[in-house]
Structure 1
């Protein structure tokens, strides 16, 4: 396992704005990526990390909102309900935060490292993290949805 460099904006060639490709095969490279992303997430004291943030355009996400690590491959939001407006930050946008409107509850379908499909439901912070990281896979940053900047 290794700690990877987290890309920050502005980044070369707007890499963080590119759409990630689906993972078609879970091989040693994807497993290493998941392990490295976990180590990087914890080293950076983050809540979530998407593969594009470490320079890989694949649909891979790791999240830990304090309840243990969640690994998602090819995640898709299949259900949204309600609204919450909270401050968000991002490892790729250091020193800034802003308020963003997100669903209060989401359901996400994904694949785990053993190539098994599963569904996860999230409310509150987990819903925010799921939406935020899946946005990264689509080349969208929280500042694109930001209602207002929060003074740090």
Structure 2
């Protein structure tokens, strides 16, 4: 099975998610470090903001590099993980239903997340983020159309 990367636009979405999380934690640290004795007040939020900015810029390309998927006649395989890597192989006959979702940032970048639902396994919902929205819809339809045979 030939594996390929998802749409590189997912890097921008992940960067925005990380930037929003960094802003949230920077504000929390700023609020809670004011009364803390021994901590220079402006230093703690500044360190959180700088660390978060580095994390928001560097981590998404690494995640993208290790997120790959492949589809063949038997099913779909998804590889992911920068530090802890995993490979999920899902046969077509195990797929019960699928969804394609888009959040506001994903809609802005024209990508979506393919969600595959199964029964009786550790991974009852498997997500593949970062697909071009039209590609996600086509993949969803293809997986359902060819998975007509019952696995029971």
Kindly name which structure, 1 or 2, has the bigger radius of gyration based on alpha carbons.
2
- Greater share of helix: 2
- Greater share of strand: 1
**TM-score normalized by the length of structure 2:** 0.31
